Amino acid sequence: MQSRSFARAVFSVAVAILCSALHNPAQSSPNAPSPSSALSIPESQLIQPDALIHLLQGAESAKPLVLQAGSRIFFAESHIPGSVFAGPGSQLAGLQLLQSKVASTAKNQLIVLYCGCCPWNRCPNVGPAYKQLRDLGFTNVKVLYLANNFGDDWVKKGYPVEHGL
């Protein structure tokens, strides 16, 4: 049990280091977040975890397409049931994968993006993924607001998860 706790602690430190390496505070200002920042996403486009759970438990026809725009490692560790790995939004290859995942999706389909790699204000992935979908003409895009990270704001709160790819 202690080795599992140690592994999770090491994993958490690695996540923090990764987020710090991917986020460049010199590119953002307190008054105008960069277009690739999670802070650039309009508040009206955010969805809270409990609201997403409600949608996922509703009628099949009303369920959103849920896309994880973070790392494959995090997706394999734990993800929202039924969600699709769409590649890290901070990388060109991730944005290309995201585009291919939505290629046959109706432009008005409800899409919910999430990452949860690190605290919201430092997430390098959801901002670019959100912008990519909007630029592609998708009109019903929401982003799951995870203030701290997926582990704290989803898993530890007892929301359902799947493991593996």
Amino acid 35: pLDDT: 59
In a domain, 161, yes or no: no
Show the domain range for 82: 2-24+36-155
Q: Domain for residue 42, yes or no?
A: yes
Per-residue confidence (pLDDT) for residue 9, from 0 to 100:
40
**Residue 46 falls inside a structural domain:** yes
CA dihedral over 65, 16, 149, 123, signed as positive or negative: negative
Residue 90 domain-assigned? yes
Q: Which residues pair with 119 in a beta bridge?
A: none
Q: What is the pLDDT of residue 7?
A: 42
Residue 160 inside a domain? The answer is no
Does 75 fall in a domain? Answer: yes
pLDDT for position 34:
57
Run means of pLDDT, 10 residues per run, the chain, 165 residues: 43 43 40 66 94 90 92 94 94 95 96 92 93 96 95 95 89
DSSP per-residue codes, 105-145? S-TTS-EEEE--SS-GGG-SSHHHHHHHHHHTT---EEEE-
When divided into structural domains, the chain yields a total of 1
**pTM given for the model:** 0.78
Say if 8 falls within a structural domain: yes
Three-state DSSP state, 77: helix
What is the reported pLDDT for 18? 45
> The CATH number of the domain where 45 resides is what?
3.40.250.10
d(CA 79, CA 68): 8
At 38 the pLDDT is 84
Residue 144 domain flag: yes
